[in-house]
Amino acid sequence: MKILSVKIFRDIRLFGLIILCGLWKLPTIANPDSELNVQVGVAKVDVTPREPVVLAGYGGRTKEFDGIDSSLWARCMVIGRNEPAVIVVVDNCGVPGKLRSLLAKRLSKRGIPEKNLVVAATHTHNAPNLRGYAPILWAGRASPDQEKGIDNYTNFLINKMETVVVEALKKREPMQLGWSRGMVQFGGNRRLIREGKWAGFGFQRNGPVDHSLPVLVARDVKGNARAVWANYACHCTTVGSRNHVGGDWAGYANEMIEKEFKSAVSLMTIGCGADVGPQPSGGLGDAKKHGSSIAKEVKSLLEKEMIPLPGVTSVTGSTAKLPLMKPSPRKHWDAQKSAGNFHGELAKEMLSQLDSNGKISSEVDYPIQSWKFGDRLAMVFLAGEVVVDYSVRLNRELDWKRLWISAWSNDMPGYIPSKRVLKEGGYEAEFSQVYYGLPGPYLPEVEDTVVAAVTDLLKKDFGAKENQETAPFHRFPSLEPAIFKRIASWLKEPKSEKEKAVVKKVREGIGSVIPTSAKMISGQGQRTEWHNFSGDFVERTFIRQSEKGVRMSWTFPFNKEKRKETMTLCFVGGLGWKTEPETGGFRMLINGKDPIQFDVTTSPAIWLSSDKSIELIYLPTWSSSLDSGGFFFVHILNPDDQEKTNIKISVSSLGEGSMRWFALDSEQKIMNRLKQLREAFK
């Protein structure tokens, strides 16, 4: 009896200690099975440059780095005992295939077949340039000392990669593998499209993305996370061309994950995000926020049950031949070789190939690799900077619920554009090719070639199920559903007298809005995309106060018989660049008369026509410190004075020399949006 009491006391004390330490929260892998124990080893090594070296990623930087924002790392995970699968992830812009081959040759002596090795890069644009990466970027403009620095760092990195693999091999122990998928949303398509063509870099909110965050975890026999591997499709360019060494958002994600899971090594790989950029960008603060969003989602996933994995059961691969447009003849390159720029250096490279081989290759060797974890997960490793369309298509043609796609793996042939990107043209499709030493763009068949090579490896075991649902992470989610809830909450808050007046006018006017949407008819406005009333990026037409008299016009077609005593027209648009000089504002005319003068604001406002017969009411529902978007109401007190059909509204600039703008959204959908606004105002 006494022994039993002691045992019970000890059990109670142990249970209390577990609760006190919070260990009851340790997540588990669903249906743990001793047969799922896999030999796993992880390690990391610091690869921050010790000597001066130029950085890759931006052609405008011409000097060695002048500061270090954060350390760079090579991280390794080894899975399996005999002929293990090995991944090395390096904080770098890209690792050329020749360097992978050198590493593979060294590792073959340790029982690692070359086909089992993946070398991936985080694509941070703030890491040293490696020999063979984007070879035209530094050709002809690097000094002898800079060339030596590139070679020294390249050799240093190969040695460090070998070291980290050897250490991971030594640290192998039985672990349980599990995986799950979450979602983060800071990646936005960066290709601005105007009239079907590339118009520069920015935030094309309606462009395709891949917001999936697949995560793999390896836990030791005590349940502690020892390896955490996450994958997200987005450029590591948050910091911009700052000439400092750093890992950008991927580096901060790894740092924060390892801080949360102190016994773990974190590996961050990058998906098909060649045309996806971090939003917002601009500095270290944004990079840390993006890294934090990854770390928080990883933590959330690891606190839930995950799908168990049996280790890497199959490694397969192939080399596709990607077709380029027919290279230009020698006379073209002869004419270009003296250009004294990147194109001149490319011409010299092409002439060298002609002299050595008698021709310029019209194909690119493209390695593709796959790891299968039984029938539960297939990982695909694609080389180069792969645009997001490949993820969209492969997730349609294969079972996306069991698919993981990484890019920037095993080689760096440059951008891999899709049919869409090639049709739109621009950077990823055309003039980026010069930096990678390629003679011209790919043919549209490149997309089918890559997809066919991947599906050939996977379709038997991981083909799409009949009528499978569409992957939910390829579109930037609209903020519109949430904005009306936010408006309803705002209406309950205390208000200034000015705000109260606007709310009263809007509440009165909603019921008399003519059920028709604004239709653009003419003007000198420019088209762009910017935040609308909910914060979504939408297409719109805008004018600035940069030139006096610039005008845009639209109509509201309707039937006079449907008028009431008062009539209200409604449209969605915005006002912006509040800090620019005031120059007189804008003038609105209704059917060519009743002028109303207004200007940029981020607050609710009412403006009157000169005879006070027409009110312009502005209810901003999204705003920043400079801009706003929202609902405009034109309240006409004497509708009988207007034309029988089609009220025409014109807005023009009254001043010049200022970048202040007024915009009208291209897509109005006004009646549906007013219905939701009415609900919010109840």
Q: For 341-365, write each residue's pLDDT tens digit.
A: 999 999 999 999 999 999 999 999 9
What the block records as the tokens of 72 is 């760079």
Rounded Cα–Cα distance for residues 140 and 148 (Å): 14
Answer left, alpha or beta for residue 45, where phi above 0 means left and psi between -120 and 50 means alpha.
beta
Mean pLDDT across the chain: 91
**pLDDT (0 to 100) of residue 206:** 82
At 71, list the tokens: 């350390």
* Secondary structure of residue 209 in the 3-state scheme: coil
Q: Quote the pLDDT of residue 26.
A: 39
| Range of weakest confidence among 327-341, 503-517, 636-650 | 636-650
Domain regions of the chain by residue span: 480-681
Q: Helices 144-170 and 97-107, interaxial angle, to 10°?
A: 40
**What string of H, E and C letters represents the secondary structure of 67-92?**
CECCCCEEEEEEECCCCCEEEEEECC
Residue with tokens 């993946």: 118
- Is 291 in contact with 252 (CB distance < 8 Å)? yes
What are the tens digits of pLDDT across the range 46-62? 999 999 999 999 989 99
> Helix (H, G, I), strand (E, B), or coil: what is residue 434?
helix
pLDDT at position 92 is 98
In this structure, what are the phi and psi dihedrals at residue 193, rounded to the nearest 5 degrees?
Answer: -115, 125
pLDDT band at 142, cuts 50/70/90? Answer: very high
Rounded Cα distance, 566 and 562, in Å: 11
* Residue 40 pLDDT > 80: yes
- Which tokens in the block code for residue 228? 């955490």
How high is the pLDDT of residue 520? 84
Looking at residue 643, what is its pLDDT?
54
Q: How far apart are CA 598 and CA 603, in angstroms?
A: 13
The answer to whether residues 274 and 416 touch, using CB atoms and an 8 Å cutoff, is: yes
Nearest alpha carbon to residue 623 among 588, 576, 669: 576
* pTM, full prediction: 0.76
pLDDT given for residue 682 in this prediction: 86
pLDDT tens digits for range 199-258: 999 888 789 999 999 999 999 999 999 999 999 999 999 999 999 999 999 999 999 999
Percent of the chain with pLDDT over 70: 93
> Is residue 651 helix, strand or coil?
strand
Q: What is the pLDDT of residue 30?
A: 55
In this structure, are residues 247 and 73 in contact, taking their beta carbons and an 8 Å threshold? Answer: yes
Report the distance separating Cα 513 and Cα 579, nearest Å.
33
Q: pLDDT, tens digit, for every residue of 507-564? A: 988 888 988 888 888 778 898 878 899 988 788 999 999 999 999 999 998 765 555 5
Please give the angle made by the CA atoms of 589, 594 and 596, to the nearest 5 degrees.
65
Q: How confident is the model at residue 100 (pLDDT cuts 50, 70, 90)?
A: very high
Whole-Å CA distances, 11 to 5, 21, 87, 571: 10, 15, 42, 69
How many Cα atoms within 13 Å fall on the side-chain side of residue 585? 11
- For 625, the token pair is 């410190």
Q: Kindly report which listed range (12-16, 80-84, 530-534) carries the lowest average pLDDT score.
A: 12-16
Measured distance CA(332)–CA(281) in Å, rounded: 39
pLDDT at residue 2 tops 50: no
480-681 classified as CATH 2.60.120: yes
Backbone angles phi, psi at 567, to 5 degrees: -135, 140
At 644 the pLDDT is: 56
Q: Are 232 and 254 in contact (CB under 8 A)?
A: no
| Structure token pair of residue 185 | 């949303």
Greater confidence, 577 or 563? 577
Q: Angle CA(437)–CA(242)–CA(147) in degrees, nearest 5?
A: 45
Dig out the tokens for 87 from the structure: 């991944």
User: According to the model, what pLDDT value does residue 9 have?
Assistant: 29
- Predicted confidence (pLDDT) at residue 6 exceeds the cutoff of 60: no
Burial pattern 631-658, b for ≥16 Cβ within 10 A else e, equals bbbbbbeebeebeeeebbbbbbbbbeeb
pLDDT at 85 > cutoff 80: yes
Please tell me the distance from the alpha carbon of residue 250 to that of residue 255, in angstroms, as a whole number. Answer: 9
Distance CA 229, CA 365 (A): 28
Q: How many CB atoms lie within 10 A of CB 669?
A: 11
Lowest mean pLDDT among 157-166, 227-236, 466-475, 638-647: 638-647
